[in-house]
Amino acid sequence: CFAVEADTCKPSGKLKGKKPPPGKCNQENDSDCCIEGKFYTTYKCSPPVSSHTKAKLTINSFEPGGDGGGRSECDNHYHSDDDPVVALSTGWFNHKKRCLKYINIHGNGKSVKAKVVDECDSTMGCDSVHDYQPPCPNNIVDASKAVWKALGVPKDDWGEMDIYWSDTD
In tens digits, the chain (169 residues) has pLDDT values of: 344 444 579 999 999 998 888 888 877 777 788 999 999 999 999 999 999 999 999 999 999 987 777 789 999 999 999 999 999 999 999 999 999 999 999 999 999 999 999 999 999 999 888 878 899 999 999 999 999 999 999 999 999 999 999 999 7
Phi-psi region of 62 (alpha: psi -120 to 50; beta: other; left: phi over 0): alpha
Residue 81: domain span: 11-167
In a domain, 16, yes or no: yes
In a domain, 1, yes or no: no
In a domain, 32, yes or no: yes
pLDDT of residue 7: 56
CATH of the domain at 99: 2.40.40.10
How many independent structural domains does the chain possess?
Answer: 1
pLDDT of residue 45: 95
In a domain, 84, yes or no: yes
Q: How far is residue 165 CA from its own chain's centroid?
A: 13
- Integer Rg of the chain from CA: 15
Phi-psi region of 128 (alpha: psi -120 to 50; beta: other; left: phi over 0): alpha
In a domain, 57, yes or no: yes
